Amino acid sequence: MTQDNKTFHITTFGCQMNVHDSDWLARALMARGWRAAPEDEATALIINTCSVRDKPEQKVYSLVGRLEHYCRKDSSKFVAVGGCVAQQVGQGFFERSDHVRLVFGTDQTGQVPESLDRLYRGETQRLAMLDFEEGFKLRKFHLPEDGPVSHLPGQAFVNIMQGCDNFCAYCIVPYVRGRQKSRSSEDVLSEVRALAGHGVRELTLLGQNVNSFGLDKQGDGTSFAQLLFRVAEVPGIRRLRFTTSHPKDLAPEVINAFGELSNLCPTLHLPMQAGSDRILSAMGRGYDMTRYLGLVDALRGVRPGMTLTTDLIVGFPGETEDDFLETLEAVRHVGFESSFSFIYSDRPGTRSVRMTPKVDRDVAQERLLRLQALQDELTAAALQTQVGTESEVLLESPSKKQDGGDVMFWRGRDACGRVVNIPLPADGGDLAGQLLAVRIQTAKKHSLVGEAVGKPW
């Protein structure tokens, strides 16, 4: 086999945690001489999977089936399955397909480059790595010699914890990501400093429940609020975000940070899940709507105009029409700028599998459509309020080229995470990662269009 075959392709499903793990894996593989290649050319076909609902789990099985097709034609090719479905199904993947030669769990991503090398060299036929680690598993941090540190220039994600201890009744995450393990604050800060030194301006701190950072036995005495203040001070960090926040653990000090830290973006993703206290209690979320709405008021009190986004589940076992109407009412009351909404899906091993009555699929589907119609209305109204204002946009990538040819639309995001498209000269060069002052001209259904106020080129 020649060096030329040492190629990989990663398909990623799921949340930012997985996207971040895949980014790391790609960098680590390249540092060991692997090259990224299209799916139909790569030797190692890697899938980073999500099992939060049944649908993404099923997508993994159909993708394995599709990838087998390449492996049958060329015996040097093989499939590696990692992430949450891999943790859940484990060696079961070997039974599904002869071409799956590596299965790795969510705490084992750091070992994957070495394992792929071993498989590539033919030292072993099959490997399963599924153990959970005791502490936060540090991975060697690879800064590229040149080029961006993530798939979005100027932006980076930093893991501050792994796992989750909440065991919400519907959720598989604690089973597939393991117990909560906080990373040491010094490690977080040294990674942040290195990234800032590498031109990163927008930083997102990542964890399943960042508000309980430091509260597990791995914690080093630093609270999430203290960590936020220390990260915000790192020179070069112009925008700081974090996700995901659990409402039950959002501390007053973190709320105050929104009033005190000018580089902490005025936006928060605060999953509400449902608007009915009865359903929230059945979900085991640990807060009621009085607490949730109190947090919303407190946040907007310290940072007027702050935007909120959320996650919602419809059709949780036992949800009545009245419960659902409470969700609609709460969504309207808070005025979420956007939301992710899902139909409840039974996940193996979770408590809600045994809860009844199950909501009829058609009823849940119809509730989802009503919820999404309301959200569309709220999103449109929120975007409309931006017209005529000025904001700072971090450019991500060219979006579409105008017919004339000398103008090119760039896509970026404002501090609240809204997508803004801006026409710029086509010969302006690569502007990805630049911050640009923009005046908003029009609001579309899910995005804004603006014009550059200054010249970045």
The pattern of x and - marking residues 228 through 247 that bind ligand SF4 according to CB under 6 A reads ------------------x-
The pattern of x and - marking residues 15 through 54 that bind ligand F3S according to CB under 6 A reads x-xx-------------------------------xxx--
Q: How far apart are CA 261 and CA 233, in angstroms?
A: 9
Contact flag: residue 181 with ligand SF4 (CB under 6 A): no
Q: How far apart are CA 413 and CA 394, in angstroms?
A: 5
Of the candidates 305, 312, 297, 272, the residue with the CA atom closest to the CA atom of residue 385 = 305
Residue pair 409/429 in contact (Cβ under 8 Å)? The answer is no
| Strand, coil or helix: 239 | strand
Contacting residues for 155 by C-beta, under 8 A, at least 6 apart: 200, 201, 202, 203, 204, 394, 396, 433
Residue pair 339/311 in contact (Cβ under 8 Å)? The answer is yes
Nearer to ligand F3S, 53 or 248 (CB): 53
Q: Which does 167 bind (CB under 5 to 8 A by kind): ligand SF4, ligand F3S, ligand SAH, none?
A: ligand SF4
Nearer to ligand SAH, 417 or 428 (CB): 417
Contact flag: residue 14 with ligand SF4 (CB under 6 A): no
DSSP state for residue 264 in the 8-state scheme: B
H or E stretch including 78? strand 78-83
Q: Which stretch binds ligand SF4 (CB under 6 A): 142-150, 164-172, 220-228, 409-417?
A: 164-172
- In the list 176, 206, 282, 330, the residue contacting ligand F3S (rule: CB under 6 A) is 176
Q: Which of residues 348-407 bind ligand SF4 (CB under 6 A)?
A: none
- Let me know how long the chain is: 457
Main-chain dihedrals φ then ψ at residue 398, nearest 5 degrees: -65, 140
- In the list 209, 223, 243, 338, the residue contacting ligand SF4 (rule: CB under 6 A) is 209
Nearer to ligand SF4, 5 or 166 (CB): 166
CB atoms < 10 A from the CB of 354, how many?
Answer: 9
CB atoms < 10 A from the CB of 179, how many?
Answer: 14
Residue pair 244/272 in contact (Cβ under 8 Å)? The answer is no
Contact flag: residue 168 with ligand F3S (CB under 6 A): no
Q: Which does 51 bind (CB under 5 to 8 A by kind): ligand SAH, ligand F3S, ligand SF4, none?
A: ligand F3S
Report the nearest approach of ligand SAH to the CB of residue 14 (Å): 9
Report the nearest approach of ligand F3S to the CB of residue 63 (Å): 15
Q: How far apart are CA 17 and CA 353, in angstroms?
A: 25
Residue pair 89/348 in contact (Cβ under 8 Å)? The answer is no
Rounded to 5°, angle at Cα 353 from 348 and 359: 130
Q: Which does 347 bind (CB under 5 to 8 A by kind): ligand F3S, ligand SAH, ligand SF4, none?
A: ligand SAH
Q: Which does 174 bind (CB under 5 to 8 A by kind): ligand F3S, ligand SAH, ligand SF4, none?
A: ligand SF4
Report the nearest approach of ligand SAH to the CB of residue 53 (Å): 5
Nearer to ligand SF4, 77 or 285 (CB): 285
Q: Which does 120 bind (CB under 5 to 8 A by kind): ligand SAH, ligand F3S, ligand SF4, none?
A: none
Strands 407-413 and 390-401: antiparallel
Strands laid side by side in the 267-269 sheet: 267-269, 307-314, 338-343
| Strand, coil or helix: 180 | coil
Question: Which residues in this chain contact ligand SAH in the complex, by CB under 6 A?
Answer: 52-53, 170-171, 173, 208-209, 244, 246, 271, 273, 311, 313, 342, 344-345, 347
In the complex, the residues that contact ligand F3S under the rule CB under 6 A are 14-15, 17-18, 50-52, 83-84, 173, 176-177
